[in-house]
Amino acid sequence: MKILITGAAGYKGTQLVDLMLASGHEVFALDDFRYNQKVLQNHFKNPKLHLRKADVCDLNSYEDWLKQCDALLPLACLTGAPVCEKNPELARAINHQSIVDSLKVLSKNQMVLFPMTNSGYGVGGEAYCDENSPLTPLSHYAKLKVETEQEVLARENSLSFRFATLFGASYRMRYDLLVNDFMWKAMDSGEIHLFEGHFRRNFLHVLDGARVYLHALNNWDQMRGQIFNVGLSSANMTKLDLCSEIQKVVPHLQITANESMKDPDKRDYVVSNQKIEMTGFSCEMTLPQGLAELKKLFILGRSKEDSNQ
Ligand SMILES: NC(=O)c1ccc[n+]([C@@H]2O[C@H](COP(=O)([O-])OP(=O)(O)OC[C@H]3O[C@@H](n4cnc5c(N)ncnc54)[C@H](O)[C@@H]3O)[C@@H](O)[C@H]2O)c1
């Protein structure tokens, strides 16, 4: 298949390129490389990789690719709440409008696999959020994702993944993600200052976040037209639980819980991943495996581009 991946030089995009090429697909990888990513070189010898530096807001720069691909994976994004709060109009142009415009170019037999976030569930209450739970997005980022998901699902041959917060090592790192951020702090300063440690979140290793696209392409007739939560069911946990897991890998870690301080990120929910599991998908990577991997990655250090703040 011909797979068009926008945001291909990102945290998840680079994993997807690996996986799709390893599965024999022809990959059309597009990114504007705004974080100066030095990635994907390991595939440059592969004739099945096509690479282009372009802005998804400039439809003319990749309309030819849109017309010929079998599947579009529109990952290009200002990813995360803080960067979208800082650049609200640009976020709308990239995260929403570019996708709406690209859908108009596609014919109905072309597939679209949309990366939504389960942060659309906002504050979920006691019950597990499933795909029918109401969406109460809290941030501009999550609101744009909800709007875009509606547009994507309005066309027949699409599906949406509502992803948990990703963690683990990738070619492009993001230390603004909760697990990666906490692990960095644990390793760097030996200390985590925890606010509202009872807030619950769901996590997923970045590799499994890529594997699920392949799973959907291989099971398209069964999965098309639907929404799937995608998270690691054993990693529905509070922030305090997460710190305890990190302490197993970084025993000298000091956790200072301060319940009087407020976290600007108000997300608090537990997520049911049963629907995707029922299709035969299961995660390969556990949280402890991801933490062990991040501990090794710490040796390489980090630069300011390894974050979307
Ligand atoms: N990481 C997560 O926890 C998570 C969870 C849910 C959903 N998602 C979604 O998955 C997708 C990828 O996330 P990620 O974590 O890899 O983020 P990322 O920021 O690492 O990747 C986004 C990529 O898009 C590129 N990009 C940004 N603006 C562009 C533009 N105008 N034109 C072309 N390229 C552009 C960036 O250079 C970057 O490589 C996003 O759509 C995100 O919303 C991620």
Q: pLDDT tens digits for 181-224?
A: 999 999 999 999 998 888 899 999 999 999 999 999 999 999 99
| Cα 223 from Cα 28, distance rounded (Å) | 23
* Averaged pLDDT for residues 234-256: 96
Looking at ligand 1, which residue's alpha carbon is closest to its atom 18?
A: 10
pLDDT tens track for 286-307: 999 999 999 999 999 998 888 8
Please give the Cα distance from 182 to 194 (Å, whole number).
10
Q: Kindly state whether residue 267 falls inside one of the protein's structural domains.
A: no
Domain residues for 152?
A: 2-167+203-232
pLDDT of residue 291: 98
- Candidate of 4, 5, 6, 11 to mutate for ligand 1, largest count of ligand atoms within 8 Å of Cβ: 11
Shortest-distance atom of ligand 1 to CA 9: 39
- The answer to whether residue 47 sits within a structural domain is yes
Closest CA to 231 of 285, 182, 184: 285
The SS3 call for residue 159 is: strand
Summarize the confidence of residues 38-45 as an average pLDDT.
97
Q: Is the pLDDT of residue 262 over 90?
A: no
Q: How many domains does the chain have?
A: 1
Residue 259 located in a structural domain: no
Cβ-based burial of 239 (10 A; exposed 0-12, middle 13-18, buried ≥19)? buried
Tell me if 63 is assigned to some domain. Answer: yes
Q: Is residue 69 part of a domain?
A: yes
Percent of the chain with pLDDT over 90: 85
Q: Judge whether 292 lies within some domain.
A: no
CA distance 152 to 173: 28
Which CATH number does the domain housing residue 85 bear? 3.40.50.720
Identity at 298, one-letter amino acid code = F
- 99 in contact with ligand 1, CB cutoff 6 A: no
Ligand 1 in contact with 13 (CB < 6 A)? yes
* pLDDT recorded at residue 44: 97
Residues 161, 32: Cα–Cα separation, whole Å: 23
CA atoms within 13 A on the CB side of 122: 14
Structure tokens at 176: 């603004």
- For residue 263, being part of any structural domain is answered with no
Indicate if the pLDDT at residue 124 is higher than 90: no
